[in-house]
Structure 1
Amino acid sequence: MKLSRMHKRLLALSAVMPLAAMAQEVTQATTQTASGQLETVTVTAQRRTENIKEVPVSVSTIANEKLDVILSGGQDIRVLAGKVPSLNVESSTGRVFPRFYIRGYGNADFSIFASQPVSLIYDDVVQENPILKGYPMFDLQNVEVLRGPQGTLFGRNTPAGVVKFESAKPSLKGIEGYYNLSYATHATANVEAAANIPLSNQWAMRVSTLRQHRDDYVSNAFLNQPDSMEGYNEHAERVQFLFQPNGTFNALFNIHQRTSVGSSRLFRANIIKKGTNDFVDGFDAEKIYTNGQNYQNLDTQGGNIRLSWDLGAVKLYSITGYESIKDYNSRGDIDGGNPSGPGVVPFPVETASVLPELQQYSQEFRVESKKAGPLSWQAGLYFFNEDAQGGSDNYNPAGARTSRVVSEQKNRASAVFGSVNYAVSEALTVRGGLRYTKDVKDFRTVEAINTVLVGPQSIHSDKDKFNWDLSGTYTVNPDVSVYARVATGFRAPSVGAASTSVPITVADAETITSYEAGIKADLLNRRARASLSVYDYDVKNQQLTVVGGNSNVTKLINAAKTKGRGIEAELEGFVTPDFKIATSASYNFTEIKDPSLSVNKCAQCTVTNPINAAGRVVIDGNPLPQAPKWIINASARYNIPLADGNLFVLTDWSYRSKVNFFLYEATEFTGKAMTEGGLRVGYNWAGGKYEIAAFGRNITDTQRITGAIDFNNLTGFINEPRQWGVQFKGSF
């Protein structure tokens, strides 16, 4: 018997209910008080601070020691990949241009104006351009990952979900701070520090800084340049001021900047063995054979002002944000080799992405009721303004620029939104939200040097959309709750720059309808915590990027439909008061549903999809790019109390299954499953004020091809190397 779509979704929801009952029995059967208990987790997934069990969204948090451990080796934001269910992060541009995927749903576009269906929000301000999304993680209060459409309460392009960072805030309570220093393989140095300084009984300041360095350790064997690539120097600063004159008004001012200099992504020609997805025999990760230049420079500055007024029955919020990018330049040898190899390099290609200037302004006004009864609500207005100029340069083998294309994009967006919560009873709360968004883009070519572009020089896009969500949370008992949610999302049209063979392209707006249900529980007298969610979504007109194929161009297209479904689970708890474990897993299935859609095939790979009469690859039925079916994470910490402190051992492991690099499927361009592990042994004393530790990241020295360039040869790039290091932390 064939089930209807709605029947399947109802069965998925009903499958959760027995788990709720089982969790209730476990909780009721536990009467003894345990000495090791988990802290209550609060999140702001619904723009209010709430207990994570009360929020009808699949959400994970990363904070405190877990965040410190994964960042100990000087990693950038890509380190979040696989650390929570359904989250993947990758980049073909290195540390400064991350691409996020939630539940397999993301965007592999590497163009300077690329938009993504995962929104990154830093201190309540949307970071729209992918370069802004790479701002380093330091002095953070917490990280939240919200899975599924968040289009009602958050400002920009959130149909897949939201990654939300919140900096540690200034406080009037007293002087405090910390310093964190580590040194690891390849002279990788990571220095982080923060200080909170009350300036009066109304003003406080918090200063945070990050310094990161890694020596070049990859040699260019073709040019006989030892240890000349893959290093970086980066620093970022943030200064915040808190003004709190009374109990009704609060003002928080934030100024931040980032400077990054180092290698761009290293493209390695023909590192994939023909007919397999293995490395070629004799591959050496510390050698490259390129005749092109490689470097990356980035400067960003920004600031925000967050104001709040307590007016008695309601609270009023104003969030003003400004972000800018100056003189971004990322240059690399796209063919990954030289005329003599390695392997066959048919023709040289060296390019640079440039972004001379970007400015982004955003403003949100929000009013929120104070919970005085069964009904609570919030409503607001949102405005977004972006003006950017960016493009690409081409170079000849001698290193001289041969052509340049620069385009300008002006993006204006506005929205009005509202959300209502109603407590039907002490156990049942229902929530509903509605948002109207209008998005306008004007895109034009402003510079074309030594190149003839096809098509018009400018294009205009104008789209508006209503989004909504409806959810319910039922409290089975004080420790267990279940929820169900239906939500829609919207991503505004995206625009791609023109080339000599492809005109300016516009991918129409995409929309998603998502169904989700889940259970969240505190177990064993709060010695353990568990959550489980199931979901099913349909994306209409999904924006996809055709990258390469048989030429060095990108083109935006729409797929008629994409389907996704999956399950996510998290469990953490104390086995004993000194032994804590945590594990999570997700299964994400994605499928492109468009029989009419085809793309150009690669030059040298083994395509496994059907080829149509025009010689193009039919991608109907394929998974989305960079969408692993399985993501699994596990960690364990064992503490040994001593007279003056604590000795501890901690290990963490993440696994993702194989991924497709492109829209078509090819033997060589399927990334193998990858497992990476970390180890940390340390000692803390003085009540945890000081800690010294030895650590390792990617301790098994796993090497994997994580992405590729497909138009010329079997060029690929790889994951981060193994690191061993030491770390010292102190607080005051």
Structure 2
Amino acid sequence: MTTQKKVLWASASAVMAFVASPALAQAAGEDDEQGSQNRSSGVSDIVVTATRRETNLQDTPIAITAVSSETLTAQSIENTAELSRVVPNASFELAQGAFGPGLTAFIRGIGQSDSNLAGEPGVAFYIDDVYYPLVFGSMFDLLDLERVEVLRGPQGTLFGRNSLAGAVNLVSRTPDLGEAYGSVEVTVGSYERRELRASANVPLGDTLALSVAGLSKDRRGYQERLDFRCEQIRRGTPELAGDFPFSDINLANDQLQGTLDDCVIGHLGGEEVRAFRGQLYWEPSDRFDVTISADYLKDRSDNAMDYILEIDPGVGRTNPNVAALYDQYTPAGGPTFALDDRFVTGDPYQTYANFADLVPAGGTVPGSALYNGSPFRGGIINPPIAPIDSWGLSGKINVELADDIELITILGYRDFEAVFSYDPDGTPLAFENFRNDVFQEHYSIETRLVGSRGWVDWVAGLFYFNGEGTQRFTGTSSLRNYVRYTDNIYESESKAAYLNVTLSPFERLSLTLGGRYSDETKLVDNFNAVDATDANSTELVFEPNSAILFNLDLGTERFDWKVGLDYELNSDVMVYASAATGFRLPGFNSRPLQPSQVAQIPGDETLSYELGVKADLFERMLRLNLTGFYTDYKTRPAGLSGNEYFLDPATGEPQPGNQVLIPSPLGDDITTCRPRTQAEIDAGVPGFACIGRVFYRNQPGEVIGFELEAEFRPTDALSMGGSVGYHNFSAPDYDSLPDGANKRPLAIPELQANFGVQYEFVSDALGGSLTPRLDWFYTGSQVYNETRTEFNQDGYSLVNARLTYDNDEYDFTLAAGVTNLFDNFYWRNYFIYQRFGSPQNNAQPGLPREWYLSMTKRF
């Protein structure tokens, strides 16, 4: 029996056994329905809108995790990147530095890690029912939320585009007409953390209310940027600095004074965020209400941390432009100043990156073809921060047309601008220095008719989305011998109509039928060219044979469907089964390094089956939700890394070098490069320069797994809970890899688990309560390269601790906590640049142990 079949059989068996056990346990108490309604303790109900109407979480036949804002605070979860700690089979993480301040989002092994606008996310994000199309910039701060809902599995009928893996719905608090209230929270902590949050709700009459929330947070970066020369002197190896200068003249003065002991010139990974959100709620009658929201974000946080794991010095020696760039700092008669492991700091929280091209504009470097005296080359200094400015407006109109029939209209508009630079080589010379400017503007409108008549419930809707985006790239690379400019312009349009009907002809049995027709288009205007200026140039010109100009009209028409059946064994136990589809819009290779790499990528398509049970047991003291699933990944365009010959822009022929092209183990039509052997050199085998390439192939796959969520509250004081999720992803491109290779998706853990426990001590002497809490989060092993198994990361655990004091008389809260209590080191991700022909491999360290103190005053 295959592994997939074993997992599926075990999941189905567990669900069936789970169903049988609680059914027997509840049999004796089925007739005590009134007593069930009057329970004052046990696990509390959570209202969700996963079906586009308000339902109880336990009555909703979907694999969904709903987390309240109070629980998020107790578990020290501050943003969406940390949500996956408590959501089984969800992997949300801060993007690797090359992709900017974005979010990698995967559910059940399906999603996207690249924030480029050319691609489409696999997880759909919504804020108060307004669609948010960008993975880039999706590090939503959990500001003034009521709850977060994470729906696992394709949600193509109700949530539509790009929800083939699932959807995340962030629900904020609605203004309250009843009373005025507010709160202020102040937090201080490690790394000079200073945070202020405030919110207020103000009724402006019997029918109008206003709520506002603000956030200001600052935190020093975790990773130190070091002055290279200073650090080599401090370490007692000044000869390794050659003639390389100080970055700061004050450091040179400190050396003369004999006081040189700190070589830190900046940090990475820090935060500087200001945000505001306001909502106006108007309810002139019981059958009509309007909510208008506005928000603004100003983020000036540091670029992401990045650490150089290793450097292959052979690339620096054999590439003449790289060798020339470093050799200019070789002292007369001294040791060669070269690209080698002298730039590996040895501490993951230290780097020599400075995001600057130290060759001045118009400068020359002996032996370098790149720095030829052109005034358009050199001198580029990129900021080590990733500024984001975003603002949006939204509105929601509810009209009750009749009893149990409601018309809902949702409008949204957003304007987004961001800049992020990247220094992938991690050295102070920046042999590769990149910058991205991203602009996005979009609006959407959705109208839903929600109703209930007898044994029929329905949601019917129309959806329209229009977005325009631009992503500009400027990159200087001595390694590739180019200054490249890219300007990609996108215009997306989405039209959809959907209907979801739940039929309950019998008392405990319900059938759900859903369908959605989508018409998706995406127009692309791509400009990609290499600078061709020289010392005599007075204006920017491009190499005519290097320009990669193309226009694409991407689009698809889709019909997605869902069929579900659920049955209530009794008032506290429900079983359900469903099948549903999802899709992702086609894309293209937005980073072609030469014309041969222009490629359109087909859209994704999934079909998923679920079997689950939801149960509240033992007078609601225990809640257990179990789901087994199988996803048929029908269309899966996989990007497979390889190499090809670097073509001369002028002739289109391979450029001379010392590498030969060979078949890749990833497939017969995929190639990679290796250095010529001495025997080949002696035999006159010609050598050429190579360049990295991503080959796209449709590689259908299968995902099988399960999820278990549990919550136990035996008394009002004691509560505990957790979850475990496991999935196995198989596909031909993994199976065809050689023995010993990593035959699984990159950067996605197969196993995740968490557990938390707290106890509330109520004391008259304290005038309130004292609640200690402990949370454990486990992330399973991950792989980051198909064949480089040395970059596999073992599973790791993180533990958070928190002690909360709530005062009843003065209505304030004091909390002290520690995240990553045992200071467990882990890598957030690896980036294996050597697969693209670069000399280095990078990694992003996880967050170290931090403490914090916070005080919240409610009024």
* Counterpart-to-counterpart distance in 1, 2:14 and 2:695: 39
Q: Which residues in structure 2 correspond to 1:17-96 (within 5 Å)?
A: 17-28=16-27, 36-71=41-76, 75-90=78-93, 91-93=95-97, 96=101
Which residue of 2 is the match for residue 569 of structure 1?
708
Indicate if the aligned counterparts of 2:519 and 2:558 stay in contact, CA closer than 8 A. Answer: yes
Which residue of 2 is the match for residue 584 of structure 1?
723
Indicate if the aligned counterparts of 1:559 and 1:592 stay in contact, CA closer than 8 A. Answer: no
Indicate if the aligned counterparts of 2:76 and 2:800 stay in contact, CA closer than 8 A. Answer: no
Indicate if the aligned counterparts of 2:777 and 2:799 stay in contact, CA closer than 8 A. Answer: yes
Shift of 1:80: 1.3
Which residue of 2 is the match for residue 287 of structure 1?
350
Match of 1:610 among 733, 738, 741: 738
Q: CA deviation digits over 1:487-545, x for unaligned, max 9?
A: 11111112332433254432111110101011101111011211100000111221344
Which residue of 1 is the match for residue 635 of structure 2?
541
Which residue of 1 is the match for residue 777 of structure 2?
654
1:529 aligns with 2:656: no
Q: Secondary structure at the match of 1:201?
A: coil
Q: Which residues in structure 2 correspond to 1:253-268 (within 5 Å)?
A: 253-268=292-307
Which residue of 2 is the match for residue 315 of structure 1?
406
Q: CA deviation digits over 1:661-683, x for unaligned, max 9?
A: 24x24223322212111001121
Shift of 1:584: 0.6
1:684 partner amino acid: D
Match of 1:641 among 758, 762, 768: 762
* Counterpart-to-counterpart distance in 2, 1:42 and 1:539: 31
In structure 2, relative to structure 1, the CA distance for the partners of 1:88 and 1:160 (3 Å cut) is same
1:669 aligns with 2:788: no
Indicate if the aligned counterparts of 2:160 and 2:516 stay in contact, CA closer than 8 A. Answer: no
Shift of 1:445: 1.9
In structure 2, relative to structure 1, the CA distance for the partners of 1:386 and 1:545 (3 Å cut) is farther
Structure (1/2) with the larger strand percentage: 1
Match of 2:811 among 675, 686, 689: 689
Shift of 1:35: 6.2
Shift of 1:299: 0.4
* Counterpart-to-counterpart distance in 2, 1:578 and 1:178: 25
Shift of 1:380: 1.1
Structure (1/2) with the larger helix percentage: 2
TM (normalized to structure 1)?
Answer: 0.89
Q: Secondary structure at the match of 2:21?
A: helix
* Counterpart-to-counterpart distance in 1, 2:727 and 2:178: 45
Q: CA deviation digits over 1:50-94, x for unaligned, max 9?
A: 11122111001111332113446xx44211122211111121148
* Counterpart-to-counterpart distance in 2, 1:700 and 1:548: 40
In structure 2, relative to structure 1, the CA distance for the partners of 1:287 and 1:552 (3 Å cut) is farther
Unaligned stretches of 5+ residues in structure 2? 231-262, 314-342, 357-383, 532-541, 644-671, 673-689
Q: Secondary structure at the match of 1:269?
A: strand
Which residue of 2 is the match for residue 152 of structure 1?
157
Shift of 1:449: 5.8
* Counterpart-to-counterpart distance in 2, 1:433 and 1:149: 12
Which residue of 1 is the match for residue 389 of structure 2?
299
Which residue of 2 is the match for residue 442 of structure 1?
523
Indicate if the aligned counterparts of 1:159 and 1:491 stay in contact, CA closer than 8 A. Answer: yes
* Counterpart-to-counterpart distance in 2, 1:166 and 1:272: 46
Which residue of 1 is the match for residue 858 of structure 2?
731
Q: Which residues in structure 2 correspond to 1:36-435 (within 5 Å)?
A: 36-71=41-76, 75-90=78-93, 91-93=95-97, 96-223=101-228, 224=230, 225-226=263-264, 228-230=266-268, 231-270=270-309, 283-293=346-356, 294-312=384-402, 314-326=405-417, 328-338=418-428, 348-355=431-438, 357-369=439-451, 371-395=452-476, 402-435=483-516
Shift of 1:42: 1.8
Q: Secondary structure at the match of 2:632?
A: strand
1:698 aligns with 2:788: no
Q: Secondary structure at the match of 2:308?
A: coil
Identical-residue share of aligned pairs (%): 24
Q: CA deviation digits over 1:368-403, x for unaligned, max 9?
A: 11x230012121111111100113221468xx9943
Q: Secondary structure at the match of 1:625?
A: coil
TM (normalized to structure 2)?
Answer: 0.76
* Counterpart-to-counterpart distance in 1, 2:213 and 2:467: 27
* Counterpart-to-counterpart distance in 2, 1:4 and 1:351: 42
Q: Secondary structure at the match of 1:17?
A: helix
* Counterpart-to-counterpart distance in 2, 1:175 and 1:382: 36
* Counterpart-to-counterpart distance in 2, 1:461 and 1:269: 38
Task: Name which of structure 1's ranges 641-650 and 440-449 shifts more when overlaid on structure 2.
Answer: 440-449
Larger C-alpha radius of gyration, 1 or 2? 2
* Counterpart-to-counterpart distance in 1, 2:47 and 2:100: 30
Indicate if the aligned counterparts of 1:563 and 1:593 stay in contact, CA closer than 8 A. Answer: no
Q: Secondary structure at the match of 1:133?
A: coil
Q: Secondary structure at the match of 2:402?
A: coil
Match of 1:473 among 551, 557, 566: 566
Task: Name which of structure 1's ranges 191-200 and 227-236 shifts more when overlaid on structure 2.
Answer: 227-236
Indicate if the aligned counterparts of 1:456 and 1:504 stay in contact, CA closer than 8 A. Answer: no
The total of aligned residue pairs comes to: 694
2:619 partner amino acid: N
In structure 2, relative to structure 1, the CA distance for the partners of 1:61 and 1:333 (3 Å cut) is same
Q: Which residues in structure 2 correspond to 1:595-634 (within 5 Å)?
A: 609-610=737-738, 622-634=743-755
Q: Secondary structure at the match of 2:592?
A: coil
Which residue of 2 is the match for residue 559 of structure 1?
698
Which residue of 2 is the match for residue 343 of structure 1?
none
Poorly superposed stretches of 4+, deviation over 6 Å: 1-5, 7-11, 30-35, 547-554
Unaligned stretches of 5+ residues in structure 1? 275-279, 340-346, 598-608, 612-617
Shift of 1:596: 10
Shift of 1:440: 0.8
Task: Name which of structure 1's ranges 123-132 and 686-695 shifts more when overlaid on structure 2.
Answer: 686-695
* Counterpart-to-counterpart distance in 2, 1:4 and 1:139: 42
1:513 partner amino acid: L
Shift of 1:110: 3.7
1:461 aligns with 2:561: no
Q: Secondary structure at the match of 2:138?
A: helix
